[in-house]
A and B are shown apart, each in its own frame.
Chain A
């Protein structure tokens, strides 16, 4: 196993991608920040000082504590507490979990859906292509957030209350995912149409290889490049969309608050001076999105050989 991976590693280490990464300070920093947040989110149950959602452990007397460096603060609650006594730092860790989960899951869903439709559309062409592209065009004229809102609204109307809360997370993933597949499909379709006419595909057909195998073995690996770039940009957008929806109150259920929910809770306290309830989750959100964007930018520039 190691022996099979070894040549891959040496190729990766020698590649232009790694070279460009090493030389780009913003890429390195972004990667580190993203890693920290992801690790923090994954290990939240282990490293969080408190569990903010365990109602039994909350003490209303702790409510509205400012951050630790403030004279009224305490080391117990590094970043302060909210109006119910929940520790902000822990809430951020757990909230990041939800935000990242929804973000990654919706991007994965979009990618699988979009890439598949793009491959089929580009390879088969004809009627199938026209239909898929027409749907894509129509959908493209509506902004993602509207589509996500709509699906969420319909789900809310169709499902009884308790079922809705249980499924809310998945409805959200579906909503954000559905609103994003078009970009992947269009790009993959374009690349597929280019690759389809290339002679190595014709050589494979001459051998007698069937279309599904051709798509899988020959075309798919060669169209994935731009898909990765789109995915990083899309991840940032997905995280923002989820945060926005949660802020508006129509995103994640209150039982699994994300960073957006936290900001919403704190929004009502901005004027009374308790800024930390909104701002710290806000900083975490921005740090995450910024890093993902920087990585995406670096990836796009590194993969584009003509930009030098």
Chain B
């Protein structure tokens, strides 16, 4: 068990280093850093001197190592466009994205899993068909369109909820939260729904498919032959077996919420990392892009690690190595 965790940690570190490599390569080789940093009228000599000072003439490995070292300490250089240290920008924007992602993930799980179970157990009921129709809408509507529609209905027509910004935020330590103010919460609702809908649908369909598959298996048949009540079969035997494979995929899905936040933040002008990233792509602001990449990679890898460990804990077949 410990060996397993150790191996996974090693893998994670390797993945992070690879991502850092890609980020660094982008940083160094896409466009000329010097050109983006200085004005038009610096002389060639001044540029050469700057190049030397920033260590841009050092061998690749050295620069890479320096990049990694800086990254680990949170230092990603200076944004080309905004002229601020990237780490400052991140600090400002990260809480917004994390709060949004977290609330959406919670929503997706809280609704998706029960809906999936319900539609698997009552396949032919009217409510099930309604849920399935809703799920079809969920995977057919692009996230941005959902956002636009919600804005149209709730902001423009009904004027119930705001359509942009975070509302009022309260700063606690280094973190800014919108969860403690009424306007903050109101501003969170539409973006959270938008972000959660797609994931919720996917989770629901996944749980449903897995559960239907499990309900057809031999040991369920045997349980019925033993006269066990259907409720016991559904919730003790079928559910547990369903959730095991669902855990891995759900974990990956939720990780991708952070990426989908890009879209939602754009539609709702939510001041998070995603909006920053899109702006950076448009203006080819490499340091910001690199930072975003490394940061998101870190979150994915972390989530993957947790999911893998959870998987081993839940499934006894993976635990016992000998025998």
Contacts and interface: CB of A to CB of B under 8 A. Distances in A.
A285 to B, nearest CB: 7
Contacts of B141: 286, 289
B140 interface: yes
B313 interface: no
A224 interface: no
A236 B140 contact: yes
A248 B252 contact: no
Given A141-B300, A270-B156, A156 B281 contact: yes
Interface stretch (B143-151, B173-181, B222-230): B143-151
Contacts of A152: 281
Interface stretch (A67-75, A143-151, A192-200): A143-151
Given A140-B252, A141-B304, A143-B255, A240 B142 contact: yes
B18 A138 contact: yes
Nearest to B281: A153
A306 B216 contact: yes
Nearest to A278: B148
A171 B98 CA distance: 31
Given A142-B297, A146-B296, A285-B142, A158 B30 contact: yes
Interface in A100-124: none
Contact of A236 (B18, B139, B263, B289): B139
Contacts of B286: 157
B256 interface: yes
A247 interface: yes
B296 to A, nearest CB: 7
B266 interface: yes
B145 A141 contact: no
Q: Which of A243, A247, A307 has the most CB of B within 10 A?
A: A247
B106 interface: no
B26 A157 contact: yes
Contact of B289 (A153, A244, A247): A153
Nearest to A290: B140
Contact of A248 (B140, B263, B301): B263
Interface in A260-282: 260, 263, 267, 270-271, 275, 278, 282
Interface residues of A, number: 40
A282 B18 CA distance: 39
A294 interface: yes
Contacts of B255: 141, 143
A156 B296 contact: no
Contact of B136 (A143, A278, A290): A290
Nearest to B151: A270
A157 B30 contact: yes
A252 B56 CA distance: 34
Nearest to A282: B145
Interface string A151-171: 011101110000000000000
A285 B148 contact: no
Contacts of A285: 142, 145
Interface in B27-84: 30-31
Given A141-B15, A142-B300, 11 more contacts: A145-B263, A146-B259, A149-B262, A152-B281, A158-B30, A247-B144, A250-B278, A270-B152, A285-B145, A290-B137, A293-B139
Interface of A: 138, 140-143, 145-146, 149-150, 152-154, 156-158, 236, 240, 243-244, 247-250, 260, 263, 267, 270-271, 275, 278, 282, 285-286, 289-290, 293-294, 297, 306-307
For the complex of A and B, list the 10 residue pairs with the smallest distance between their C-beta atoms, beginning with the closest: A143-B256, A157-B30, A290-B140, A143-B259, A146-B259, A153-B281, A289-B140, A240-B142, A141-B300, A157-B284
9 contacts: A138-B18, A145-B263, A154-B26, A157-B31, A157-B284, A240-B142, A247-B144, A247-B266, A271-B156
